[in-house]
Each structure stands twice: as C-alpha cells, then as structure tokens.
Structure 1
Amino acid sequence: MIDALVIGASGGIGRAVAREMKARGGNVTTLSRAEDGLDVTDPDAVRRVMGALEGPFQTIFVSVGILAPEGGAPEKQLSAIDPEEMRRVFAVNTIGVAHVLSWLPGLLPRRGRSVTGVLTARVGSIGDNRMGGWYSYRASKAALNQIVHGAAVELGRSRRDAIVAALHPGTVDTPFTEGFDPPHGKDAPEESARNLCDVMERLTPEQSGGFYDYAGREIPW
C-alpha cells in the first residue's frame, strides 16, 4: 500500500485527488487550511502542521492556490495591477507553496520511487502565453514552476528515483473557476483527479522537473 499525502485537500481538485488515491488503495493523509489550519502564508502554521507529519510518503500532491484575492479578479490590463493584490497572490501561490515544498527532504523516502505533483497552471507558461492579461496569477505560477524545477534538481542528487513535477489539471468545474466558461467546457473534479493520478503513476525519474498537463503532455516553460 502506498502512503500518500494530499496538501490542500479541502479544495475541489485536492479533495477529488484524495478520494481517487484512496479508491486506488492508497493510505492517504490529508491537510488543508480549513481542517488543519495550514495557512501557507503563515510560517508558524506551516512549521506546526508540516512538522507534525510522519513520513515517508511515496506520493505527495500539492493543490494550493488562489486566482485572485477574495473579492478580486485576474487583471485584464496592466493598468489594473494592484501591488497589494499581487503580493497576496504571490504569498499563496508561490511563497506559500515553496515553504511547503521545503519540507520535502524529510517527507520522501531515501530509496525507491516517489512522486510529488504540484498543481500549477498552463497560464503560467511563458512560451504558451498568447493572450496576455492575468498578470499576477500567470507570474505567480511561472515562478512556482521554477521552484518546482529547482526542487527536482536538488532532490535528484540524493534520491535518484524521486520525481517532482508541475502539473496542469485542465479547466475543472470547481468554485475556483466559477464565472469562467471556456469554449471547450470544464472537466468534473473526479475526472481531473483520475487524469492527474494516472499521470503521476506514469511519470519516470527522467521526467522529473518537467511541466505536464492532465494527459501527460509536456508544456513549454
């Protein structure tokens, strides 16, 4: 039985991934701000909650992020950028997740395969950005992608079979995407969870540090 950890398990995707992992026979530990007080913007809370974990975990899934501060929305124009709102987005999506990832060395097995999937977003791809806008969210996810890649390089030095990857879930029907109706529609959280778990199961150590979508296709940085 695989020991798994899902961080951000009260959100639509995190909750669905935790359920999917349990359905696949995993022994799943879940953490969230709502249930465990894991406020990733509070260093003391991160130390308290993450420090109480007992690994190792063969699979870790991190599903933490905001689209914009409460009551706000992604910027459509440069003139809409608000420094305080941008700071909040980075505090959660980049700095907060980076602090959580700093605990990986003590949570992963020293030997054998492990996989850490970090939920990012295709809009964090600089090479794939053809529409502009969404400055804070895009930039925070692009920065997170760099952190994920660096974590993979570092962990690969001591754990040759460890995999760390940035994952794009597609557009999923959760409160996170409320009010956003793409032409191609939205995936149900359960479908997204199955896809993401499939991708994490298929990834190899040679793919560690990469950026992949819900079908396992590589996304340009």
Structure 2
Amino acid sequence: MKRVLIIGASGGLGAAAAKACRARGETVVALSRSADGFEITEETAVAKHLEGTEGSFDLVLVATGALEIDGAAPEKSIRSVTAAAMMDQFAVNALGPALVLRHAADLLPRDRRAVFAVLSARVGSIGDNRIGGWVSYRSAKAAVNQIVHTASIELSRTHPQSICVALHPGTVATPFTEKYLGRHPSVPPEEAAQNLLNVIEGLAPDDTGQFFDWAGKAVPW
C-alpha cells in the first residue's frame, strides 16, 4: 500500500487530494496549520513535525500557498510593491516549501520510485509572463520553481528513482482564488486534485526537476 504525506491538507486542494488518495486505498498522513499547528514558515515547527513522522512516503505533496496575505492583494504594477507584502509572499510560497524540502531525503525511500511535488503557479513562469502585475506572487512562485529544481538535482544523487517537481494545478475554485477568478475558467478542488494525481502517476525519474501543468504539459521557466 502506498503512503502519502500531504502538507496543507486543510486547504481546498490539499483536502481533496487527501480524500482522493484515501479512496484509492492509500495511507495518508495529513498535516496542516489549522489541525496540527504545522506552521510552514517556522523552521522549528517544520522540523518538529517532519522529524517526528515515521517511515517513508511514495508521495509527498506540498499543497500550501497564499495569494493574498494580511489583506495585501496582488499588485497591479511594480509601483505598488511593498517590502512587507513581498516578504510575506516569499515566506509562504518559497521559504515554506524550501524548509520542507530540507527534509526530503528523510521522507522518501531510496530503493524505489517516489514523488515530491510542490504546488506552484503558471504566473511564476518568467517565459510565460506577458502582462506584468502580481509582482510579489509571481516572484515567490518563480523562486519556489528554482528551489524545486535545485533540490531535485541534489536529491537524485542519493535517491536515483526520485521525482521532484513543481506543479501548476490550474485555477481552482476555492476561497484562495474566489476574488480573482474573473473570466478565467476554474475547476472544483476535487477535479483539480484528480488532475494532479493523474500527472503524478505518469511521471518518471527523467522528469525530475521540471515544472508541469495540470494536464501534464511542461511549463516554461
């Protein structure tokens, strides 16, 4: 039976992914700030929870993230950037996953295929950015993409069958995005989670270090 660790399991997509994995008969360990006090931006909290988690996992999914923090909406232009808002975005969307990835080698088996997946966003793609805006959020997601890519290189040295990737789930209809849906098509968390699990199932070790969308297509850096 596969073992799955989902971090951010109280959020819309994280909860849907946990439910889907359990429905497939997999053993799910779910961690979140609201249920377990897993504060992803605090190094001691991350270490305490992950070092206290027994066994290895076939899948680790980091489903945390924030688009608006403390009322700071995504900027419409570079003129709206503030130090506080940008630092908050980097703390949640880049530093948090990096702290979890610090423990990746202890969470994954060395003798078989295992996936470490981090939720990113297409707006973090530098090559795909054609309209500007959302400076802090874009930059934090671009940073987490680099963190994932770097970690994948290091992880492959000790875990040759590991797959460490960034994933874009599409626009998911949750409280996280409801103010920003506009004309963008969205999908319910259950559908988004299933899409990502399908992508994860199809990944091979040669895919490690890459950035994929919900349909399994590579996203430009």
Task: Identify whether the pair has TM-score above 0.5, normalized to the shorter chain.
Answer: yes
Find the residue that maps to 1:176 and give its secondary structure: coil
Number of equivalences:
221
Post-superposition CA distance 1:78-98 (Å, at most 9, x none): 111010111111011111110
Letter in 1 for 2:125: S
Measure the CA separation in 2 of the matches of 1:179 and 1:144: 24
1:78 matched to 2:78? The reply is yes
Map 1:25-36; keep pairs closer than 5 Å.
25-36=25-36
Consecutive unaligned residues of structure 1, counting only runs of 5 or more, are none
Superposition deviation, residue 182 in structure 1: 4.0
Measure the CA separation in 2 of the matches of 1:186 and 1:109: 35
1:126 matched to 2:126? The reply is yes
Aligned to 1:63: 63
Aligned to 1:144: 144
Superposition deviation, residue 110 in structure 1: 1.1
Letter in 1 for 2:171: T
CA separation of 1:25/1:43 partners in 2, compared to 1, >3 Å: closer, same or farther? Answer: same
Letter in 1 for 2:220: P
Superposition deviation, residue 183 in structure 1: 2.6
Aligned to 2:200: 200
Q: Scaled by the length of structure 2, what TM-score is found?
A: 0.98
Find the residue that maps to 2:30 and give its secondary structure: strand
Superposition deviation, residue 184 in structure 1: 4.1
Letter in 1 for 2:25: G
Measure the CA separation in 2 of the matches of 1:158 and 1:41: 26
Measure the CA separation in 2 of the matches of 1:55 and 1:108: 9
Measure the CA separation in 1 of the matches of 2:59 and 2:134: 31
Consecutive unaligned residues of structure 2, counting only runs of 5 or more, are none
Q: Scaled by the length of structure 1, what TM-score is found?
A: 0.98
Find the residue that maps to 1:38 and give its secondary structure: coil
Superposition deviation, residue 54 in structure 1: 0.9
| Identity among equivalent pairs (%) | 50
Superposition deviation, residue 68 in structure 1: 2.5
1:171 matched to 2:171? The reply is yes
Find the residue that maps to 2:179 and give its secondary structure: coil
Superposition deviation, residue 40 in structure 1: 1.3
Aligned to 1:108: 108
Measure the CA separation in 2 of the matches of 1:154 and 1:43: 20
> What's the Cα RMSD here?
0.9
After the TM superposition, list the runs of 4 or more consecutive aligned residues in structure 1 that deviate by more than 3 angstroms: none
**Aligned partners of 2:57 and 2:114 also within 8 Å:** yes
Measure the CA separation in 2 of the matches of 1:183 and 1:88: 27
Find the residue that maps to 2:187 and give its secondary structure: coil
Map 1:86-105; keep pairs closer than 5 Å.
86-105=86-105
**Aligned partners of 2:110 and 2:160 also within 8 Å:** no
Letter in 1 for 2:20: E
Letter in 2 for 1:51: E
Find the residue that maps to 1:190 and give its secondary structure: helix
Letter in 2 for 1:73: A
